[in-house]
Structure 1
Amino acid sequence: MQGSRRGIQLRGLKRYNSGGIEYVYHRASGIKLPNLPENDPEFLAAYLEASQSAPVAKRNGQASLEAAIQNYLKSPNFKSFSTSYASLMRRECKKLVAKAGHVPFKTISKSHVLSDLSKLEPNAANKRLKAWRGVCDANIGLLRDDTPTEGIKAIRAAVTLGHLPWDASDIAKFRKHYGYETPERMAFELICWTGARMSDAICLGAGMVSSDGWITFRQQKTGGEVSIPFDRALPNFANQSDLIHLHTAISERPTKHMTFIVTSFGSSRSHKGASQWFAKATRNAGISGKSAHGLRKSRAITLAENGATTHQIAAWTGHESLSEVEHYSRAAKRKRMLSSTETEQKLSKSSDP
């Protein structure tokens, strides 16, 4: 009997019969549930999971900002984000919940959003605006029909130097301070060659090297795939000496691990911990104001100065936008324009005429 099959009665289910088979869906989320009695443990687990993924009911004018944020975090758009960007948005959403999570979402206006942004520095305000936009867009048609972020533009932040690239003297100083066998040197050579962000570099290992000599990985920030020559013939714009340094560091590691960058105990490093550890290593080598991300910039600059095209640089570093890469290319072209094709004339240090 149908009643005995269902057992207990749960709310929010949609059932229909097709060809003698009964199909059960969770009405709010649209998720198909197993064709089992409602008191079956497997059915109850699926029902609970579907309930937690369902958006807040439509037209609920009393739904809070926190409820709207939960809709955003469960939305297909949010689930498509890269790990690092999703983490950034979660942090911003937590700040919104702590500040005004209880406020009815439908009462939030453009002036409220602008007031929140006005208390932040430009870069922080732009991150917060992205979170506001995501939350509001995810709830159009659910909790309200408009968005209070409409017409709000990102703040133009002052141009800064950002992470400074390493120059030849910095690189030489670091290499002199740390031997090939040290984890600091291993991390340095890996990032110096690949130009990978620290979040990606900590995941790199021998298992990512293909049989034809490419090291291939998917970037945490963008989700894009990058392949870099690792054990194969190099393009003419790549410095073979840097790759030799990397292979030497790999061969002289005291312990082997699935990742190249490890702790003193031989385990993989976390992103945040690795960045702080490398910054300290840089200071200990007598280098100030330089970071792991600065090494990434140095790789792009070196490629540009060696004649790599904008698209070749982007393919190596994994930049999705060519604007920053074009900056490196233009700077390299200006240097070449002022360099003689013949033997360059150098100023004599002698005071003789």
Structure 2
Amino acid sequence: MQFRLKYVVEDVDRHGNVRLYFRRNGRKVRLRGPAGSPDFLTDYRRAANPPKEAEAQTAKVGRVVPRSIRWLCVQYYKSAMFTELDPRTQKVRRSIMERFCQNKNDGDKPFALLLPRHIRVRRDEMADRPEAANSMVKALRQLYRFALRYDLHDDNPADKVEYLKGNPDGFHSWSLAEIEKFEDAHAIGTPARLALALALYTGQRRADLVMLGKQHVRDGWLIFTQHKGRNSKPVRMEIPVIPALQRVIDATPTGDLTFLVTAFNRPFTSNGFGNRFRKWCGEAGLKNCSVHGLRKAAAARLAELGCTEQEIMAITGHTTSKEVTRYTRAASQKARAESALRRFSGEQNSDKSVPLLAGIISGGTKT
């Protein structure tokens, strides 16, 4: 007597062999043949009645437990507090919270029961990556600030968790010797040299460097709005294009809309430019240098020339002096030490006003 079992299908492979499968709800399981044999029936029963754990795991996919940490994240992503953030900030924060939710299934736990000690445990597990650990704590602080603002919770446990001590100096700041070494490896007229000059003589972040073009130059000034915070706290910049920078721009092929372009004559992305610049640094034997280190070097050089924090902030675009102080700490100490010893030796000259960026023209890059 012949009979047909439900959900059993036949497929023929490229060699003409007939293969049997159990197919149901998008799940396809191979069955041993021939049809009706003991092996076939054993495989069929196993496929038709999967283990309860597997069923529970399948049902769990895409499910959000009400009032869980993942549920709170979903509410946060829909709020104005999140949607008003820069797209890149949104992407980074989503990634951090997704990793937090996936670890040990923490995303399914009630968000109201998360305590500072729980966060400290997770933070300490990342002690070998202090910046990543601090980013996690920062993201949780923002998540629970949302919960407080929208009356979903009455406490912010992440506010009570301390940041780990990372590298106090941050990115390596280029020395004059390193700048000269880069210049020796990349002559004027190359994209690498143009990138160096733009970074050093404007003090901008890489997201701004890849956006700058001829349309931003007006009467010898670069006029633009910084990329960071442009949707929430826009910072409009006006920076003079000093002669040393103009000479490099004039001698280098540039794009139609941006000074810096790829080998395919297309604008760089921020990450793509960062990777390309590291490659240029590697070609110059500067493995420890990055484009962000030039931003610090520009601020430090301005400090050495006697510029005030407010003058330096007018170039870098910082809205508070906290980061500028960190950037220029070593330069300020050097300038104060020199001034003190000159007074001690009776050689102190009368104070002079140092024009902004004036010293960089002679002490910056080779022309």
| Length-normalised TM-score, structure 2 | 0.66
Shift in CA distance, 167/173, structure 1 to aligned 2, threshold 3 Å: same
Q: 1:335 aligns with which of 334, 338, 354?
A: 338
Match of 2:102 in 1: 98
Shift of 1:142: 5.8
Is residue 2:221 matched to residue 1:219?
Answer: no
Structure 1 distance, partners of 2:336, 2:238, is: 24
Secondary structure of 1:217 counterpart: strand
Q: Deviations over 1:26-57 (max 9, x none)?
A: xxxxxxxxxxxxxxxxxxxxxxxxxxxxxxxx
Instruction: Identify if the C-alpha distance between structure 1 residues 173 and 214 changes in structure 2 by more than 3 Å, giving closer, same or farther.
Output: same
How much has 1:289 moved relative to structure 2? 1.6
CA distance in 1, matches of 2:279, 2:165: 29
Matching residue within 79, 98, 111 for 1:75: 79
Query: How much does 1:265 deviate?
Result: 1.3
Deviation at 1:161, TM superposition (A): 3.3
Identity %: 28
How do 1:183-222 residues align onto structure 2 when only pairs under 5 Å count?
Answer: 183-210=191-218, 212-222=219-229
Q: Which has the higher helix share?
A: 2
CA distance in structure 2 between the partners assigned to 1:176 and 1:141 by the alignment: 55
Unmatched segments (≥5 aa) in structure 2 = 1-63, 350-367
**Distance in 2, Cα, partners of 1:320 & 1:169:** 30
Q: Are the counterparts in 2 of residues 113 and 148 from structure 1 also a CA contact under 8 Å?
A: no
TM, length-normalised to structure 1: 0.68
Q: Which amino acid aligns with 1:166?
A: W
- Code of the aligned partner of 1:98: Q
Query: Is contact 1:136-1:148 (8 Å) kept?
Result: yes
Seen in structure 2, the aligned counterparts of structure 1 residues 132 and 256 have a Cα distance that, compared at 3 Å, is closer
State the partner residue of 2:7: none
Q: How big is each residue's C-alpha offset from its partner over 1:306-344, in whole Å with a ceiling of 9 and x where there is no partner?
A: 2211100011111222134235263233334335547xx
Residues 337 and 130 of structure 1, relative CA distance in 2, 3 Å threshold = same
**Structure 1's 120 and 284: CA in aligned 2 closer, same or farther, altered over 3 A?**
same
- Pairing 1:103-122 to 2, within 5 Å after superposition: 103-121=109-127, 122=130
Q: 2:136 aligns with which of 121, 128, 140?
A: 128
CA distance in structure 1 between the partners assigned to 2:177 and 2:156 by the alignment: 51
Q: Are 1:193 and 1:246, in contact at CA under 8 Å, matched by a contact in 2? A: yes
Instruction: Specify the code of the residue in structure 2 equivalent to 1:165.
Output: S
Shift of 1:83: 4.3
Matched, 1:301 2:307: no
**Which residue does 1:170 correspond to in 2?**
178
Say if 1:84 and 1:311 are closer, same or farther in 2 by CA, change over 3 A. Answer: farther
- Contact kept in structure 1, 2:224 and 2:238, CA below 8 Å: no
CA contact (8 A) 2:212 2:258 kept: yes
Q: 1:104 offset after TM fit, Å?
A: 3.5
Using the TM superposition, give the Cα deviation of residue 150 of structure 1 relative to its aligned residue in structure 2, in angstroms: 5.9
Q: Partner residue of 1:274?
A: 273
Structure with max Cα Rg:
2
**Structure 1 stretches lacking a partner, 5+ long:** 1-59, 232-242, 343-353
Q: In the TM superposition, what whole-angstrom CA distance separates every residue of 1:47-69 from its partner, at most 9, and x where no partner exists?
A: xxxxxxxxxxxxx9933322210
Which secondary structure does the structure 1 equivalent of 2:261 belong to? coil
Size of the aligned set, in residue pairs, is 271
Deviation at residue 296 of structure 1 after TM alignment: 0.7
Whether the 8 Å CA contact 1:194–1:317 is kept in 2: the answer is yes
